[in-house]
Amino acid sequence: MGTVSAGDGNTLAILYDTIRWEEKALYEAARKKGVSVENVDIKALRLRLGGQSDFKDRVVLQRSVSYFKSLHATAALEGLGAKVINPLKVAGITGNKLFAHMELEKAGVRTPKAIAAFSEEAAIQALDEFGYPAVIKPTVGSWGRMIGLLRDRDAARAVIEDREHMFPLYHIYYFEEFVKRPPRDIRAIVVGDRVVAAIYRYSGDGEWKTNMALGGRAEVCPVTEELSDICMKATRAVGGQIVGVDLMEGDDGLMVHEVNNTTEFKNTVRVTGVDIPGLMIDYALSLYKR
């Protein structure tokens, strides 16, 4: 991918570290609209942190997979005057499950019950009080990696002992209740002030995680008033502009279990037919008028 020139003076930048289907789709959507767009590989990015910058007043679609690279690049670019989608606050909160949970709780968004602990023994004691089964999640991570279902104390002890030998980040213990739900969850895409599309993501055979890479499947999910309301409430809670909201259907209604900063939307486009890349480009362009 290269640079498309439209001569309109409003050049978008797409910042990436891995070119996925989504980044290609965004580039093509911009090209079809005659928009100037530059693809910037974060691994080659060099920024002088002060003075004039080519990024001043430019809109940047932050699409980096790496949480830490995304977070620090966003901070630097905003400091140089760029308008980054999503802003630094959003990247910092949504990239950390404990941070996001607390913001959702403060905003009154229904979420799975959760506990946190900061040592091996405290984690075991917390789980004894919380009850089994429980889900252990790394505070930072994606694609369902290192998420485990702890069915009893022995399983918890084994997993936690292993984590004590890992990087210190994994010594922050975050657990959620195992929600009784249908064998599916919901991925909704928010662009600006509305939910533009949503899908059900079904678990694959023998899997409890709703991950397409694990053999799951997707179907269209209607954007009901209930779904729209809770998604927008969650989006506002974290300050999001373009996000993916993941939800579960509990006994008492919908609950949010994650808000994604650089959300994937390939399956949502495939299943719903909604032009999400085009809507994202339109939203990005609208920031030049603000």
**Residue-wise pLDDT tens digits, 114-166:** 999 999 999 999 999 999 999 999 999 876 678 999 999 999 999 999 999 88
Give me the mean pLDDT over the 31-56 stretch: 92
Nearest to 244 by CA among 32, 13, 63: 63
Q: If you average pLDDT over each of 7-21, 79-93, 154-168, 209-223, which comes out highest?
A: 79-93
Q: Is the pLDDT of residue 250 over 70?
A: yes
pLDDT at 206: 59
The two tokens of residue 171 are: 């010594």
pLDDT at 141: 81
Contact (CB, 8 A) for 187 and 199: yes
With H, G, I as helix, E, B as strand and everything else as coil, classify residue 147: coil
> What is the model's pLDDT at position 5?
32
Judge whether residue 1 has pLDDT over 60: no
Q: Return the pLDDT at 119.
A: 96
N-term to C-term CA, the chain: 29
HSE-CB for 52 with a 13 A CA cutoff: 1
169 confidence band (pLDDT: 50, 70, 90) = confident
Nearest to 35 by CA among 14, 57, 52: 14
Q: Is the pLDDT of residue 50 over 90?
A: no
Whether residue 215 is predicted with pLDDT greater than 70 in this model: the reply is no
The reported pLDDT for the residue numbered 8 is 44
Q: What's the whole-number mean pLDDT along residues 49-67? A: 93
pLDDT at position 7, please?
A: 32
**Cβ pair 214, 228 in contact under 8 A:** no
Q: What percent of the chain has pLDDT over 90?
A: 80
**Mean pLDDT value of segment 42-65:** 93
Mean residue pLDDT across the chain: 91
The predicted model gives 17-44 an average pLDDT of 95
> CA-CA distance, 195 to 269, in Å (whole number)?
13
Tokens of 274: 């909604």
